[in-house]
Homo-oligomer: A and B are copies of this chain.
Amino acid sequence: MTRIAVDAMGGDYAPGEIVKGAVWAAHDYNVPIELVGQVDKIQKILDEIAKKGIRSNRGGYFVKKIKVDLSKLDIKITQADEIIEMGEAPGVAIRKKKNASIVLAVNAVAKGSSDAVVAAGSTGAAMAASLFGLGRLRGIERPAIAATLPTMKEPVILIDAGANSSCTPEMLMQFATMGSTFVKSVYNRENPRIGVLNIGEEEEKGNQLVKDTYKHLKENTMGLKFIGNIEGKELFQGDVDVVVCEGFVGNVALKTIEGSSMMLFKLIQQEFRSDLISKIVGLLAKPFMKRIYKRINYEEFGGALLLGVKGITVISHGRSSSYAIKNAVRVAKEAVESGVNKKIAELIK
């Protein structure tokens, strides 16, 4: 049965929210877990869960209290003496701190005691540890981050969302292949539509990278269904399944979306607090806002997948709550069970 290794020490709210999220996932999805980190700290949180259950929050809203019988869950703890902090240079850190939680979590997959990793700490460290510990899939030049974004219809995959600042057209072609395979195997969508993130629709628009990628995709003989350039405003209409871009651009887009959505929700909250009447209307509108928030909240998607390594690494938001981690474990489990890596390897060879 698929076991998920969770870096218990990574993330702004580690280890508390991470351990809680992992236990919650074990409870909800009946998935075995390997918690990697400082045993004493992890044990303390497990004791608390055993006594009090998990108080579940979602996007700042209290949802419910979950009672957990730990004796019925398959939870393993692996000691890790070190932690890689957010500011550290990833390449150096993973070589120096061989007993860091993220390194040992990845090693668990490399050794086969777990099948996937969930990591909410330094993205750079998770990528470096995965690349170093798991190795690249054959034919993949560079792994890429596949982020899931909400749209008016089904979610869209943005790849690369930040693993590679600078890319070549060949890399973007590989991202397209990986993204397409991911959508096919995990979301069960036939013939995923692939677009290039660009600043105009016409073939001759944009910088050299996207122009060359356009040509490669148009002429591809791998069966990739290319539908042309996608502008930022079309990203959310749900008429494309995979959008490829350079990591720098993808990461800026991802964080800009997060920032502008957060601003909008904050402005709505402000408006609904301005006087008594607004407070009443705000109270009435709250259930609607919660439903919308649920649809666009990144916590629902759990995390982004690092595609292109021999294993599954789910990279979660640094601010992940237990709810986000629970969903990240679900994403990891689904990815393992879909056999996405085997399918990528078959397509690329």
Task: Give me the interface of A with B, judged by CB distance under 8 Å.
Answer: 87, 89, 150-152, 162, 165-166, 197-199, 202, 204, 206-208, 210, 231-237, 245, 247-249, 251-264, 266-268, 271-272, 278, 281-282, 284-285, 288-289, 291-292, 295-296
Assuming the contacts A292-B268, A292-B271, asked whether A252 and B197 have C-beta atoms less than 8 A apart, the reply is yes
Q: Is the CB of B236 within 8 A of A262?
A: yes
Identify the interface centre among A206, A232, A278: most chain B CB within 10 Å of its CB: A232
Q: Per DSSP, are chain A's interface residues mostly helix, strand or loop, or mixed?
A: helix
Contacts of A260 in B (CB 8 A): 235-236, 257, 260-261
Nearest-neighbour CB distance to chain B for A279, whole angstroms, equals 11
A152–B268 alpha-carbon span in the complex (Å): 11
Complex: how many Å from CA A295 to CA B296? 21
> Would A235 and B249 count as touching, CB distance under 8 A?
no
Given contacts A206-B165, A267-B296, is CB(A255)–CB(B231) below 8 Å?
A: yes
B268, A288: Cβ atoms under 8 Å? Answer: yes
Copy number in this complex? Answer: 2
The answer to whether A278 touches B288 (Cβ under 8 A) is: yes
Bound Cα distance from A202 to B85, whole angstroms: 14
Would you call A199 and B165 a contact (CB within 8 A)?
yes
List B contacts of A208 (CB < 8 A): 166
17 A–B contact pairs at CB < 8 A?
Answer: A151-B263, A152-B266, A166-B207, A199-B247, A199-B248, A232-B252, A232-B255, A232-B259, A233-B255, A234-B259, A235-B256, A235-B260, A236-B259, A252-B252, A253-B256, A271-B288, A271-B292
Do B261 and A288 touch across chains, with their CB atoms under 8 A apart?
Answer: no
B236 pairs with A263, CB closer than 8 A: yes
CB distance from A146 to the nearest CB of B (A): 16
Q: B281 near A295 (CB under 8 angstroms)?
A: no
Residue from the list B204, B248, B258, B267 in contact with A249, Cβ < 8 A:
B248
Kindly list chain B residues whose C-beta atoms are within 8 Å of the C-beta of A235.
Answer: 256, 259-260
Instruction: Give CA–CA (A162, B289) in the complex, Å.
Output: 34
Given contacts A166-B208, A236-B260, A284-B281, whether A255 and B295 have CB atoms under 8 Å apart is no
Complex CA–CA separation, A256 to B166 (angstroms): 20
Q: Whose C-beta in chain B lies nearest to the C-beta of A150?
A: B263
Distance between Cα atoms of A295 and B208 in the complex (Å): 36
Given contacts A249-B252, A266-B152, contact A258 B233 (CB under 8 A): yes
13 extra interchain contacts, Cβ-Cβ under 8 A, other than A165-B199, A256-B257? A87-B202, A89-B204, A150-B263, A152-B267, A199-B255, A206-B248, A210-B248, A233-B255, A236-B259, A249-B249, A256-B256, A260-B261, A261-B261
